[in-house]
Amino acid sequence: MLKNHFKIALRNLWKHKVFSFINITGLSVGITACFFIFMYVAFELSYDKFHTKVDNIYRLVTDIKSPSETINTDATSWAFAPNLKPEFPEIEAFVRVQRSGYLIRKDNIKFQEDNAMLADSNFFKVFDFKLLKGDVNTALTAPASIVFSETTAKKYFGDADPIGKTVLMSGDAVPAVVTGVMKDMPGNSQIHADLLISMTSLTQKFRPDIDKQWGNYGANTYLLLKPGSNYKALEAKFPPFMEKHNGKDARESKMFAKLLLEPMKDVYLHTTRGGQEVGSMSNVYIFSIVAVFILLIACINFINLTTARSVERAKEVGIRKVVGAAKGELAAQFIGESVALCMIAFFITIALSALLLPLFNQLAGKTVSEGIFTTPGYIAGLFGLSVVIGLLAGVYPALVLSSFRPVSVLKGRFSTGTKGNILRKTLVVAQFSISIALIIGTIVVYDQMNYMRNQDLGFSKDQTLVLETDNDPGQDAFRQAISGLPGVKGATLSSSVPGGGENGAYSEIENSKGDLQVANLALYFVDFDYIKNYGIKILAGRPFSRDFMNTDTAQAMIINEEAAKLFGYATPEKAIGRRFKQWGREGKIVGVMKNFHYRSLQEKIDPLTMRVEMKALNKVSVKLSAANLPSTLSQIETKWKQYVPNKPYTYYFLDEFFDRQYRSEQRFGKLFFNFAILAIAISCLGLLGLASYATYQRTREIGIRKVLGASTTGIVNMLSIDFMKLVIISFLIATPIAWYFMHKWLADFAYRIEIQWWVFALAGTLAVVVALTTISFQAIRAALTNPVKSLRSE
């Protein structure tokens, strides 16, 4: 019996090659796309879950409240963790980490390691980062201890054992002993570093007083709580702790810190504070919905095409029922055929997955598929998914086919009836509603990305080269030397560049009422040429100037528009000459600059201050001429080696660096676009199949119409108009749904587009054009067929 069913299934697949191809292709592409999205979503959800103690690890974060604002930050004071541990028995251990950049040298090998991290000695006890060489108990205990990742160790030592060897760290050439080699941190970790440096290097050797500084925020802190501890109950004990240790100073400074705990397993996708690396739960939801939609479209194709062909199999069903076949047996056969077709799609999916895996990883920007073909769970899951799709997609067609009445079908009086037509039309509408919604989503995503790329940022980032000097003694001489090169328009020193972070400084600034108002403000240290070189506009007062060398280096500050508004000034001019106190400096505001986007467009522009502080500058920004760029870069390199010989010559262009802030959104846009194209392609495959079948069903009608004088255009219009009505209905359904979800997505951006009417018009037009093109292919072919061929048997 099974052998017979198998033969019939193969015979039907071979007899109807076009329908079989469309079904198998649609299912294969749909399952492959769903599989890739499943891997991406699973990877995003797996962040930090590899830590065995993750359920008991919490990130300590801070709300800093001043009279002007509340700052929600992921940073903590250096003093918090060392003082929390002795007072709360719930805390088993703590780890502070701080990402930084260090120059590492070994003999003639030197690299600027920008992905380095200071870490407390408990790092390997709290987190499950594997230490390949060294002792987890002592690797990060002594000052100037360093742990390399496997890849970084090979960069400096090749295949030799680095344990106990010495490297030189930072521009001061501090000797550091290699005490461990760890396995490269996995891609699904929000904490990521190429090398770790013992926190005692900072707290004991360079800044022994830092653990007592309650107002110095720079570390990310993680607490390991004892099993069974209630983190919310612990959180409730923090206010008395802060009052005990910092209450008096907080009242004097008018800066109050509130400590909160975030479960580490939730930080990557759910935090609103930023951190080492953060993802987007909304993106996970969107991709999950897209995966379901793509599968749904593929299943709709299968159901539509199978039920449409039910007339052709009606006589087969009638004869088999007459010779004794039961309804359940027939249903089982048709479901079996559906599952068999999905099994073919399963094997094609495996081949497609292997072929497209590198491209998908490149689009995702992550290796989300590690172990895909060596982990049984992946393949088993894909196999199970294929079987489930076969069962679900085959149930309805099987019930329809097995319910035919043999008397009716054998007398030739069988028709699918209006119910079958209504179902197929409903499914086509569902299919194209999804496709049009995805088209609208794709247009909105790309429009937002284009807006972010082309928005006036308030400063000039083009043709700007940035070099990290690490506050090298020769940096100012280097700046002066390259300023005279033919291809250099200007060069400036600073502590920050737009998109590269900034200091946060406790500040007191005179407000419009004449009182000193407290706020925590962003701070750039710059030289005299920074504002000019970056093309930042001064709205009131003046920029820093060497004509006021003595006062500008000791008593001057420039603020942005947002800061002027924060302190109550109706116009920028009214802020000029007002007093300030900031980090031990007192003076007056000499200028107000126009707001510029010193952070991503996802964040609103916050108050910003600038001061001239020559000892705090560690970056050189070079404005270049576009002509003879290679020659200019070569000359800059020569000067670099002359004035900054201890650092490797590395640089980046500011426009590329600034745009890196949008890499996750750009990857999201590319992935969304590609999956939307797949969904539309699968929909078109189904539409092509239905159009082909509808044309086949009306072959004789078309022949008669042609004999009676119908034109080719008239026949094409007749065959197309029914389908186009369905596409228009789909557009009306998809538009409000797409608007709602894309409006929610845009809400994550501080600066965003408004969804314009043309987005929906363009999406509808594209859908109509694609559908019309798909249908017309079959319609034109039918209209051009010689009517003699279709009528000769009548």
In 458-561, which ranges are E strands? 464-468, 488-494, 503-510, 516-526, 538-541, 556-560
Asked whether the predicted pLDDT for residue 692 surpasses 80, the reply is no
Angle between helix axes 417-454 and 663-697 (nearest 10 degrees) is 150
Which range has the worst mean pLDDT, 134-148, 257-271, 353-367? 353-367
Per residue in 296-345, pLDDT (tens digit) is 888 887 777 766 665 566 666 676 667 666 767 777 777 777 788 888 88
> How would residue 529 be classed by pLDDT, with cut points 50, 70 and 90?
very high
Of the CA atoms within 13 Å of residue 723, those in its CB half-sphere come to 31
Task: Give the number of other CB atoms < 10 A from CB of residue 616.
Answer: 17
- What average pLDDT does range 256-280 have in this prediction? 87
Band of pLDDT at residue 364, cut at 50, 70 and 90: confident
pLDDT at 516: 92
Nearest in space to 652 (alpha carbons), one of 624, 688, 631, 694:
624
DSSP characters over 131-176: EEES-TTTTTTSTTEEEEEHHHHHHHHTTS--TT-EEEETTTTEEE
The amino acid sitting at 445 is: V
Q: pLDDT digits over 723-756, tens only?
A: 888 889 999 999 999 999 899 888 888 888 999 9
Rounded to two decimals, what is the model's pTM?
0.83
Q: Are 601 and 751 in contact (CB under 8 A)?
A: yes
Q: What percent of the chain has pLDDT over 90?
A: 44
User: Residues of the chain with pLDDT > 70: what percent?
Assistant: 87
Count of alpha carbons within 13 Å of 20, Cβ hemisphere only? 13
**∠ CA 253-257-258 to the nearest 5 degrees?**
155
- What are the tens digits of pLDDT across the range 533-551? 999 999 999 999 999 999 9
Contacting residues for 204 by C-beta, under 8 A, at least 6 apart: 143
Q: What integer pLDDT is reported at residue 474 of this predicted model? A: 92
SS3 assignment, position 583: coil
pLDDT at residue 465, as a whole number: 95
Looking at residue 579, its amino acid is R
Is residue 372 over pLDDT 70? no
Whether the Cβ atoms of residue 502 and residue 524 lie closer than 8 Å to each other: yes
* Total residue count of the chain as it appears in this document: 794
pLDDT above 90 for 170: no
Residue 246 or 405, more confident: 246
* pLDDT at 60 (0 to 100): 96
Higher pLDDT, 113 or 398: 113
Does position 5 have pLDDT exceeding 70, yes or no?
Answer: no
DSSP sequence for 748-782: T-SS-----HHHHHHHHHHHHHHHHHHHHHHHHHH
Q: What is the pLDDT of residue 173?
A: 77
What band does 628 get if pLDDT is binned at 50, 70 and 90? confident
Q: What is the mean pLDDT of residues 511-534?
A: 94
Confidence band, pLDDT 50/70/90 cuts, at residue 455: confident
The larger pLDDT score, comparing residue 123 to residue 332, is at 123
Q: Which has more pLDDT, 298 or 175?
A: 175
Mean pLDDT of the chain: 86
Q: What is the pLDDT of residues 52-92, one digit of tens each?
A: 999 999 999 999 998 878 888 898 999 999 999 999 999 99
Question: Is pLDDT at 7 greater than 70 in this prediction?
Answer: no
Give the model's pLDDT for residue 331: 73
The reported pLDDT for the residue numbered 693 is: 67
Beta bridge partners of 587: 580
Is the confidence at residue 641, as pLDDT, over 60?
A: yes
Q: How confident is the model at residue 566, as a pLDDT?
A: 94
Given a cut of 90, is residue 28 above it in pLDDT? no
Least confident of 205-209, 229-233, 560-564, 768-772: 205-209
- Residue 472: band (very low, low, confident or very high) from pLDDT cuts 50, 70, 90: confident
Q: Tell me: pLDDT of 582 over 70.
A: yes
Tokens coding 641: 């080696």
Across 577-596, average pLDDT: 95
Count of C-beta atoms within a 10 Å radius of residue 762: 14
Stretch 619-646: mean pLDDT, rounded?
93
Residue corresponding to tokens 């800093």: 64
Supply the pLDDT for residue 770. Answer: 83
- Bigger pLDDT: 608 or 385? 608
Pick the more confident residue, 387 or 6.
Answer: 387
| Residues sharing a CB contact under 8 Å with residue 632, sequence separation 6 or more, in sequence order | 485, 486, 487, 488, 624, 625
Q: What is the mean pLDDT of residues 766-791?
A: 74
60 vs 694, more confident: 60
pLDDT at res. 528: 96
pLDDT at position 277 is 75
Angle at 659 between CA 36 and CA 665, to 5 degrees: 30
